[in-house]
Amino acid sequence: QVHLVESGGGLVQPGGSLRLSCAASGSIFSISAMGWYRQAPGKQREVVAGIVSGGRTNYADSVKGRFTISRDNAKNTVSLQMNSLKPEDTAVYYCTKIPPGYWGQGTQVTVSS
Query: Taking the mean position of all CA atoms in its chain, how far away is CA 73?
Result: 16
Please report how many Cα atoms fall inside a 13 Å half-sphere around the Cα of residue 93, on the Cβ side.
Answer: 29
pLDDT-wise least confident of 21-30, 31-40, 77-86, 91-100: 21-30
pLDDT tens-digit map of 38-70: 999 999 999 999 999 888 999 999 999 999 999
Tell me which amino acid residue 34 is: M
Q: List, in sequence order, every residue forming a beta bridge with 109; answer none if it has no partner.
A: 10, 91
For residue 39, the model assigns a pLDDT of: 98
* Neighbouring residues of 52: CB distance < 8 A, sequence distance ≥ 6: 32, 33
64 Rama sector, left if φ>0, alpha if ψ -120 to 50, beta otherwise: beta
Q: What span, in angstroms and rounded, lies between the C-alpha atoms of 68 and 34?
A: 13
Q: List, in sequence order, every residue forming a beta bridge with 111; answer none if it has no partner.
A: 12
Mean of the per-residue pLDDT values for the chain? 95
